[in-house]
Chain A
Amino acid sequence: EAGVAQSPRYKIIEKRQSVAFWCNPISGHATLYWYQQILGQGPKLLIQFQNNGVVDDSQLPKDRFSAERLKGVDSTLKIQPAKLEDSAVYLCASSSLKTGEAFFGQGTRLTVV
């Protein structure tokens, strides 16, 4: 079974630039999550989708972050404009409604300079 795919693996941008991350969940998984993991901390949930609807985006900084999951499969997370404090690993995870267990991608490491 293919895992959660994320791209790119690494990205370096200057502050105030924009960036987008892509996630392809495990086939058939209805639920998709984006997490932000700042160095030395545990992952923090940014947004949860179920199919193509948003379930929880209470921790998403909506003035600069946006996410979508068109057609209930792939998802993109965008930051515009980026700030230095956005430097982190962005993790995508997916889970099935049946088991609830979350499977994580390898993440995208973002460095804002």
Chain B
Amino acid sequence: GDSVTQMEGPVTLSEEAFLTINCTYTATGYPSLFWYVQYPGEGLQLLLKATKADDKGSNKGFEATYRKETTSFHLEKGSVQVSDSAVYFCALPSGGSYIPTFGRGTSLIVHP
């Protein structure tokens, strides 16, 4: 079935460093792709999405480009802040539905 694979964490960075969290997908066709974020003690929130190949999703300084040639949807941010510390999940809808299927998550820790 459709699935995503994320890089293992934790990712530990200093404030203002560049962030990349890798995500690759396996799917039939070209599903929408999502990044969700889970801040400590909170539920999952949709961070950004891309609905077709070559689309770029962006929100709160984060970006991800849907690349079908490499089946990737890597999350990037040019300058991270301490408040970005959270767990980030790559996801796609499974089986042609809207049900998100999640990767295992990548923990980001940003130090001042």
A positions within 8 Å CB-CB of B = 3-4, 31, 33, 40-45, 48, 56, 91, 93, 95, 100-107
CB of B98 within 8 A of CB of A40, answer no
| Most A C-beta atoms less than 10 A away, residue of B36, B45, B89, B100 | B100
CA distance A56 to B100 in the complex (A): 13
CB of B43 within 8 A of CB of A104, answer yes
Number of A-B contacts (CB under 8 A): 50
B105 at the interface (CB under 8 A from A): yes
Near A by CB (< 8 A), chain B positions 1-54 give 36, 41-46, 49
Residues of A within 8 A of B42 (CB): 106
Residues of B within 8 A of A48 (CB): 97, 99
CB of B99 within 8 A of CB of A43, answer no
CB of B46 within 8 A of CB of A42, answer no
CB of A40 within 8 A of CB of B104, answer yes
CA distance A103 to B100 in the complex (A): 11
CB of B105 within 8 A of CB of A41, answer yes
CB of A45 within 8 A of CB of B44, answer no
CA distance A40 to B102 in the complex (A): 12
Shortest Cβ distance from residue B74 to the other chain A in the assembled complex, whole angstroms: 17
B101 at the interface (CB under 8 A from A): yes
CB of A41 within 8 A of CB of B45, answer no
